[in-house]
């Protein structure tokens, strides 16, 4: 029986050569290395246009005391916009929803209950969106195709679930807020 004895110096050299060969193999053949990372799902923040354009949108979820003033300004400057409405708000303000729609503005979905959708299951997300859509469609005759998540919160599950329902998730990319004290 033969026994091979390698000294530490030789063992280190053999190990280093093997490691270098493995690294070269992975660098030259990256298909050997796999990753579990996936691409993050994102809502639509803006769209490419061949001309200068600015798109305004409004979220309607709490009150409607300034809605007529907003509609008057939009009408004065011949601006059409999108109102993302919460279903509970639609239930409380059906005449305002009709007024917005009759003025030629889009009415889209901002959820039924303004909940934190990141905590919802896909089934809860769909149920909430469907309920809001039905309220909007009952008044306007048009089914919403766009969804803006409450609080601007979203994750892959929210985006994928909304998209599976045939709707697009929309987010803002510039926000300007004015309060009575800042005017």
Residue spans of the domains in the chain: they are 57-174
Cβ(63)–Cβ(88) below 8 Å:
no
In 9-143 the beta strands, taken as DSSP E runs, fall at 57-60, 82-85, 106-109
CA 63, distance to chain mean position in Å, is 24
Residue whose C-alpha is closest to residue 109's, from 79, 80, 88:
88
Task: Please tell me the least confidently modeled range out of 4-18, 27-41, 72-86, 159-173.
Answer: 27-41
The residue that leads in pLDDT, 32 or 38, is: 38
**Mean pLDDT of the residues in the chain:** 84
The residue that leads in pLDDT, 172 or 25, is: 172
Residues in contact with 139: Cβ distance below 8 Å, sequence separation at least 6, in sequence order: 90, 94, 97, 98, 101, 107
The pLDDT tens digits for 131-163 are 999 999 999 999 999 999 999 999 999 999 999
Residue whose C-alpha is closest to residue 87's, from 154, 151, 137:
137
Cβ(134)–Cβ(163) below 8 Å:
no
State the Cα–Cα distance between residues 54 and 4, nearest whole angstrom: 78
The pLDDT tens digits for 38-72 are 688 877 777 788 988 888 899 999 888 999 999 99
Q: Looking at domain 57-174, which of 3.60.9.10, 1.10.287.610, 3.20.20.370, 3.40.50.150 is its CATH number? A: 3.20.20.370
């Amino acid at each position: 029986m033969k026994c091979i004895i390698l000294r530490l110096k030789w063992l280190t050299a053999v190990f280093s050569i093997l490691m270098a060969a493995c690294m070269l193999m992975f660098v030259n053949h990256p298909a050997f290395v796999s990753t579990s990372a996936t691409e993050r799902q994102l809502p639509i923040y803006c769209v490419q246009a061949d001309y200068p354009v600015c798109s305004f949108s409004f979220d309607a979820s709490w009150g409607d005391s300034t809605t007529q003033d907003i509609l008057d300004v939009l009408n004065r400057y011949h601006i059409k916009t999108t109102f993302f409405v919460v279903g509970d708000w639609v239930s409380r303000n059906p005449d305002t929803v009709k007024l917005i729609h009759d003025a030629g503005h889009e009415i889209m979905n901002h959820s039924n209950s303004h909940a934190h959708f990141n905590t919802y299951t896909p089934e809860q997300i769909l149920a909430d969106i469907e309920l809001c859509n039905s309220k909007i469609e009952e008044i306007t005759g048009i089914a919403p195709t766009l969804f803006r998540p409450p609080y601007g919160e979203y994750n892959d599950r929210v985006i994928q679930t909304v998209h599976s329902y045939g709707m697009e998730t929309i987010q803002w990319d510039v926000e300007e807020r004015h309060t009575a004290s800042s005017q």
